[in-house]
Amino acid sequence: MAVDPDRATGLGMRTETLMAPINALAVYCGSNAGNDPSYRSLAHDLGRALAARGIALVYGGGRVGLMGVVADAVLAGGGSAIGIIPEHLARREVRHQHLTETVVVPSMHVRKQRMFDMADACLVLPGGLGTLDETIEVVTWRQLGLHDKPIVIVDPSGFWRPLEALVQHMIGQGFASHAALRLFHVARSLDETFAFLAAAPAPRVAAAAERT
Ligand code: AMP
């Protein structure tokens, strides 16, 4: 089930319906908090914004690092935080005990699939290799036309600039097309993030069966 890349990225002919109200967002972020206090502030502000807007957080289910910060902020704001955590990580990552809902899954693959399926769009905050893996997975699913949900890298500090540079390098070296840059959006603020989501075309592809 292929998707026209321009339509999938929202840059083609604007005949699409705009995004329906967003009920849930998947958030990928670090199980560490990073060195710069602004990362923690960003996660906290995102959590509060989700709660204020009545958007459920779908995330990895831990209480450590930025993952814990965003979940705590959602809960403190009266919002819903849903954790999807694999059995073998439930102890190691110190599973959050006060979530609205925790779903324990058998594997990392099922976790990524479940998080994606429950969300209307995906947001990326600063993080490590796990965050990178989760991000690239949904970006490549989108490249393959398996979905067209919006993916927003929320990056006020420029943390993810090396990833943008790497994609540019791949394009320059002939390993990716320019359309690769339209598979995800980089937002420099939370306001820009929510404005982008509000203006995004409604996803038209929801095939889960073909994903690995
Ligand atoms: P990190 O960015 O490395 O701190 O990891 C952030 C989250 O990504 C943690 O909840 C990790 O368990 C998760 N993670 C790491 N590797 C993977 C993977 N291969 N698939 C899904 N989640 C992962």
pLDDT digits (tens, 9 = 90+) for 106-158: 999 999 999 999 999 999 999 999 999 999 999 999 999 999 999 999 999 99
List, for residues 159-194, the tens digit of each pLDDT value. Answer: 999 999 999 999 999 999 999 999 999 999 999 999
Q: DSSP state, 82?
A: E
Q: What residue ranges line ligand 1, CB within 6 angstroms?
A: 30-32, 60, 62, 89, 93, 108, 111-112, 127-131, 133-134
Q: DSSP state, 152?
A: E
Q: What is the pLDDT of residue 187?
A: 98
CATH architecture of 24-157+184-195: 3-Layer(aba) Sandwich (3.40)
Q: What is the pLDDT of residue 20?
A: 75
Here the tokens at position 12 are 């083609």
- What are the residue ranges spanned by the domains of the chain? 24-157+184-195
Q: Which ranges constitute the DSSP H helices of the chain?
A: 5-8, 37-53, 65-76, 89-92, 108-118, 129-143, 161-172, 190-199
Query: Best substitution site from 69, 92, 108, 212 to test ligand 1's pocket, by max atoms within 8 Å of Cβ?
Result: 108
Query: Best substitution site from 27, 31, 92 to test ligand 1's pocket, by max atoms within 8 Å of Cβ?
Result: 31
Q: How far is CA 148 from CA 118, 181, 183, in A?
A: 14, 14, 9
Report the first-to-last Cα separation within the chain, whole angstroms: 14
Beta strand 185-187 pairing with 151-154 = parallel
Q: What is the pLDDT of residue 4?
A: 39
- Provide mean pLDDT across the span 17-23: 81
Q: What is the pLDDT of residue 202?
A: 85
- Provide mean pLDDT across the span 8-37: 78
Q: What is the pLDDT of residue 170?
A: 98
In this model, does residue 14 exceed pLDDT 90?
no
Mean per-residue pLDDT over the chain, rounded: 90
